[in-house]
Amino acid sequence: MRKHKLTGPSAVEERPTRFIPYGRHEIDDEDIAAVVEVLRSDWLTTGPKVAEYERAFAARVGAKYAVALSSGTAALHAAVFALKLGPGDDALTTPMTFAATANCLLYQGATPVFCDIRSDDMTIDPAKIVQKIESDYRPVHGSLRNHRTGNVLRAIIPVHYAGRPADMAAVREIADRYSLAVIEDAAHALGAQYRGSPVGGCSHSDLACFSTHPVKHITTGEGGVVTTNEAEPARRMRIFRNHGITTEARERASQERRWHYEMADLGYNYRLSDIHCALGLSQLRKLPDFLKKRSSIADKYLEKLGDVAAIMLPRCGTDCVHAWHLFVIRLRLEMLRINRDEFFARLCERGIGANVHYIPVHLHPYYRRRFGYAPGDFPAAEAASAAAITLPLFPGMADEDVARVAETVRNLALSSST
């Protein structure tokens, strides 16, 4: 099947040393044909492909409902809306994530409260969740209230960092103990499994949020999906994505007063078009192959870098299957003569498109200014971030590119060791 040469910022550029990006989408003739078919149809948006994509996505992860949205951020925002979080409400989450995980709460007037990570897998630490609840909240009339702000604790938002599922059994047990909702940020985790169940099946959560950005496991260009097993949150999210309007244009087409619509709530234009959904359907069919390729690349990195003492490699426990959205190494800086930023720069000089995931959310200027956070507040997340480098990993990587990345990282670590 013919592959299409990419242009723009995501393209592989020809340089004296060919640049290998950290991530890139895979588009083939089937994907293009699926999009062209919709372009020639009667419905470019709010049409039949949206519902078809939602059914296919729900089936893929084993959920009853899926709601397609315009981005992973929109998916998180819709999930917060669906559970009616708002002013005076808190939700616990991790600082080791993209800012959208926390921002989605602020959009609705709720407050993100951070808990530090486990150093071994960089996911939220259940022990820190319990510690935060016991130190900051008190039971008042059946709710947990923050004794300083008066806010009510309503939810936990674990993040499946890099594609490695968080400890969902522990998170769910805590949530049940304190009557909290659970929203999974599964933007990295399409195809991951936890204790034999697909992430997104909501076996340990109320909702799960995915992203279909070009560097994710499948792409719709931009897009997101929320899955759930409850009808009411799904209904609320479908209204929310369509300006708060209770019916969509296609549904009204068969009504006598087809012009009539009602805005029942304050919503947004977070719709995902039929064009995007057609691409998503085509990509979903290739997901097993994409996952297999990602896993194979991760295995090669683990094999080729496994004996480098100055590098800490990502691992997945026996209770889960890693989706390998990212391959994040951490440098043992005490064993190196250079810091992470210098290591990163030297990789880039050698044509390796490394990245860093993430700057902890609490250290961003907005969060420091608004909430008074400072370095040292979440030491495990800060230490992990200071040592982290994301290596290139995407299904279209050639074997020689994987070998070149591994050899470059290996040689740089060995030559820089103390």
Q: Would you name the residues annotated as active-site residues?
A: 216
Closest CA to 71 of 170, 190, 211, 196: 211
Could you count the other beta carbons within 10 Å of the beta carbon of residue 268? 17
Structure tokens at 76: 């998180």
d(CA 20, CA 200): 31
How far CA 174 is from CA of 78, 121, 129, 131, 257, in Å, comes to: 23, 19, 8, 11, 49
Q: Is 162 helix (H, G, I), strand (E, B) or coil?
A: helix
> Which residue type sits at 81?
F
Phi, psi of 37 (to 5 degrees): -60, -40
How far CA 154 is from CA of 71, 91, 111, 245, 279, in Å, comes to: 24, 6, 10, 26, 36
User: Which H or E run contains 136?
Assistant: helix 126-136
User: Which H or E run contains 408?
Assistant: helix 399-415
d(CA 291, CA 319): 18
d(CA 165, CA 202): 12
d(CA 351, CA 412): 13
Residue 384, sorted as left (phi over 0), alpha (psi -120 to 50) or beta, turns out to be: alpha
d(CA 78, CA 267): 9
d(CA 83, CA 203): 17
CA 174 to chain CA mean position, Å: 22
d(CA 333, CA 416): 10
Q: Is 126 helix (H, G, I), strand (E, B) or coil?
A: helix
User: Which H or E run contains 170?
Assistant: helix 168-178
> Which residue type sits at 176?
D
Contacts of 247 (CB under 8 A, 6+ apart): 261, 262
Q: How deeply is 48 buried, as exposed, middle or buried, from its count of CB atoms within 10 A (0-12, 13-18, 19+)? A: middle
